[in-house]
Structure 1
Amino acid sequence: MPRRRDVHALDESDVRVRPGRRGSRPRSKLRPAHADATRAMVTAVDRGRWTCAPGADPDRPPVIAMRARELGRTPVVVGDRVDLVGDLSGEPDTLARIVRVAERDTVLRRTADDTDPFERVVVANAERLVVVTSVADPAPRTGFVDRCLVAAYAGGLEPVLCLTKSDLADPEPFAAQYRDLGVPLVVTGRSTAGPPAGLDALRAELSGRLCALVGHSGVGKSTLVNELVPAADQAVGRLSGIGKGRHTTTAALAFPHADGWVVDTPGIRSFGLAHVGADDVVAAFGDLAEAIDDCPRGCGHLGPPADPECALDDLVCAGALGAGRLEALRRILVALHQA
């Protein structure tokens, strides 16, 4: 009977390696540096494919790209600056790869409602958020505007308020609520001939920037987008799988405009603000950010009786903050606290 070998005396030559389907060579964790990648901006997202503008240049053919495997589930949204490799010709049936996503300067986020902890990034790197609301037909909704302002301040965007249909009602009573906040205001209305009145003022606010537009159905936002970017209506009609008709898309779409880009976001009807805190909003006001360091823990900055020791009231008493400005700020904070 043969003697059993001591297991402690075994070496590599005694172990039989069965070749598997994947081979026995370990996979390297090193990935290509992609030093020759081309920077681009995402202009549309459709079912796992991203439309990108190389160099954010609207004169170059758009490129369709997929997300590289090494990015995993890294979210990529309209406005993101990405690095592309592969076929960048923009020819039909060609496909590039997104290998990197640059750090975002600003982020417009929302949640499904005020209790949903899951954040949805709507647009990245937008400089301004244009909140479009009509002064009549339909009547303006202060709560929606306030929530949009909160989302803008929390995400690092500069809000702009655009009031439409000024030919139907006086916009001043509604606009007065926001003047003390220093929000830029544009008023438009139907004219007897030609484009809506006030369109040049809106163009000036958008020029040279990446700007996102939000607004309820019926306020005239689609009319403004089509006037600002005549090709937008045609482009939406060509996009398949993103929407169910013209300007009924549930995804953001970016269109070139006046040395900048306009992002249409028709799918946003409301902003859940579960991801935002009161300090995030106040911090957007440079002259108030340091003052709230003296507030007690958990202060919501609403003032008495809810927050009787809020440091912002001390600024008003000292003459460093106007009472009207604080009142306007607290009104939009109420929108944040209301579920």
Structure 2
Amino acid sequence: MTQSKAKQKKFIVLIGLLFILTVITFIISLNLGVVRIAPIDVFKTLLGMGTARDQLVLVDFRLPRMILSLLIGAGLAVSGAILQGVTKNDLADPGILGINSGAGFMVILFIYFFQGSMNSVTTFGIFLMPLFALVGAVIAAFLIYILAWKKGIDPVRLILVGIGVNSGFGAAIVIFQLKMNPQDFMQAAVWLSGDIWGANWKFVAILAPLILLLLPLALYKAHTLNIMNLGDQVATGLGIRVEKERRLLLLVAVALAGFSVAAGGGIAFLGLVAPHISKRLIGPKHQLFLPITAVLGSFLLLLADTIGKNLLAPTQIPVGIVVAIFSAPYFIILLMKAK
């Protein structure tokens, strides 16, 4: 009982610390950019007393992008945590397994056939893009699951199949990119490397309810994930319908990844690194582990976006590249340690 209370206390301290760090990064990000705005002017603008220029920069451009960063970060991080739990593979990540590529492929198809240009995505198109991304993510996950299944899911086989599916969708994406005009080709290339391109309130209004609905569902299934980690036979003996629960959890993970890709492109490694760091901080119990992962994912992506926007300003580094620079070495270490 004492150990449980200590864990709860540690959880509250960690979640509070991550929340404070996220708020500090949020405030700093509001101030920084091509157009610098003093902290006092930021607060004035948020209270409706700022200039027209500050209102335009903060409310119309920066705030939607930052809110999307928080949503996408949480979505990808929890998606990776679920995938690692369901597959019992510490290297599972929606970017590495090809789920992001599947979602990105369908978004590229949608833009190519129905919109004509990334600059001309209509309001109706913004509503459809998450749906197309979800379909692509589900198709990729289905292919991976079918091809990796051989009397169960073998962790190594899963990674190899995922890398193959990722490469296949990547090649298909390049084919359609080559058919685009040069400007759209460059925009698509940047977006696929991880770029929050749909930074407007319409995207926020669409994605926020979807991601905020799926995150509590993932937390609701935390107890099931704990039991499934004991093995399929033990989970079945404890009354868990393993295959049904596995499919539901995979669908939640895939949906979170697909919706995140619709607004943030192919951001890899975040779903790998955030769960690992969280597990080291709080342990493997999913009731504590998943909330820490969600907040940490939001913080890391917001921090990466802030760095990407300001490090080489006025040139912006895609957020996916910043995440990869910091996360790829960690992935290599995990790969070397994997049995």
After TM superposition, the score normalised by the length of structure 1 is 0.27
Kindly indicate whether structure 1 or structure 2 has the higher relative contact order, using CA contacts under 8 Å at least 6 residues apart. 2
Structure with greater proportional strand content: 1
Q: Which has the larger radius of gyration?
A: 1
After TM superposition, the score normalised by the length of structure 2 is 0.27
